[in-house]
Amino acid sequence: MYQSFIKPLLADTKKLFLETLFPITCFSCNKEGMFLCAACQPKLKSTHQVCIACKKPSLAGLTHPKCLSPLMADQFISFFDYRDNLVSKLIIRGKYYFIPDIFKLFAEMLAPRLQTEFPLMLNKDTALVPIPLHKWRQRWRGFNQAQILCQSLEGKLGTCTENLLERRKFTKTQKDLKKEERQKNTANAFQLLPGATIKARHIILVDDVATTGATLLEAAKVLKRNGAEKVTCLTIARD
Ligand SMILES: [Zn+2]
Ligand SMILES: [Zn+2]
């Protein structure tokens, strides 16, 4: 009882303390109250959709029929250009300065666009699945940004977040690696969690950024190998 009362109180006090010391201001215009105010949100540079296999343009991010193979992801949706300064600055701040609210803000921006621009064909078996962090990294950061995205999206999309995967090895941060090293780094990085049911389901794999797509492709492979019918990869931004 005491614990359940005091814990949220401490969290609120900590939040208030941090917000007094470091007031939330817009990354673009410095207006107080939001990490990116409504007026500045259209400044984020959007990206066009590509096929995750060949990286060439594709309608709605659908994998080209000629690029599809049995374990290949079926669709890849990404909204913003990671090379845009404002986009990368927000994501990097969120991850490395431990601000999960930045990812909630991104989910707010993504949800309406997902509903209007992408026919996801959700059904009762569709699941939002976050790309898991290795437990050491999650402990250090205190949250998984992909999990925050899923949880903020689920109510808006009418789907549920399910943790179906786990990291089996500690991989280096992809952004510091060359292309060939990235593929090697993610090979066999994931496995299904015990009891995960995948068969004949549509899975939406969620991550913050796709660089080469190697991480998403590796996770998609595990899901497909275990019987997933369709795998859609979804990220805030791509490189
Ligand atoms: Zn602003
Ligand atoms: Zn292709």
pLDDT digits (tens, 9 = 90+) for 197-235: 999 999 999 999 999 999 999 999 999 999 999 999 999
Q: State the average pLDDT for the chain.
A: 90
Residues, CB within 5 angstroms of ligand 1 (ion): 26, 28-29, 31, 37, 40
Residue 98: which pLDDT band, with cuts at 50, 70 and 90? Answer: confident
Distance, CA of 50 to chain centre: 17
Span from the CA of 75 to the centroid of ligand 2 (angstroms): 10
CA 23–ligand 1 middle distance (angstroms): 14
Where does the pLDDT of residue 174 fall: very low under 50, low under 70, confident under 90, or very high at 90 and above? low
Domain range 47-170+177-238, CATH architecture: 3-Layer(aba) Sandwich (3.40)
| Whether pLDDT at 59 is above 80 | yes
Report the pLDDT value the prediction gives residue 79, as an integer from 0 to 100: 97
Measured in degrees and rounded to the nearest 5, phi and psi for residue 237 equal -140, 165
- Over 80: is that where the pLDDT of 161 sits? yes
Flag whether pLDDT at 133 surpasses 70.
Answer: yes
Q: Is the pLDDT of residue 101 over 80?
A: yes
Q: 3-class SS at 170?
A: coil
pLDDT tier at 25, thresholds 50, 70, 90: very high
Q: Can you tell me which residue has the tokens 């917000």? A: 19
Dist. CA 229 → ligand 1 center (Å) = 42
Q: How far is the CA of 68 from the centre of ligand 2 (A)?
A: 8
DSSP state of 30: -
Instruction: Kindly state the average pLDDT of the residues 52-62.
Output: 96
Instruction: Express each pLDDT in 1-15 by its tens digit.
Output: 455 666 667 777 766
Q: For residue 38, which ligand has an atom nearest its CA?
A: 1
Measured from the Cβ of residue 97, the count of other Cβ atoms closer than 10 Å reads: 9
Over residues 167-191, mean pLDDT: 77
Distance 28 CA to ligand 1 centre (A): 5
Q: Let me know: does 147 contact 176? Beta carbons within 8 Å.
A: no
Decide: residue 79, CB within 10 A, 0-12 exposed, 13-18 middle, 19+ buried: buried
Nearest ligand, CA of residue 59? 2
Ligand nearest to the CA of 44: 1
Greater confidence (171 vs 23) lies with 23
Share of the chain above pLDDT 70, in %: 89
pTM given for the model: 0.88
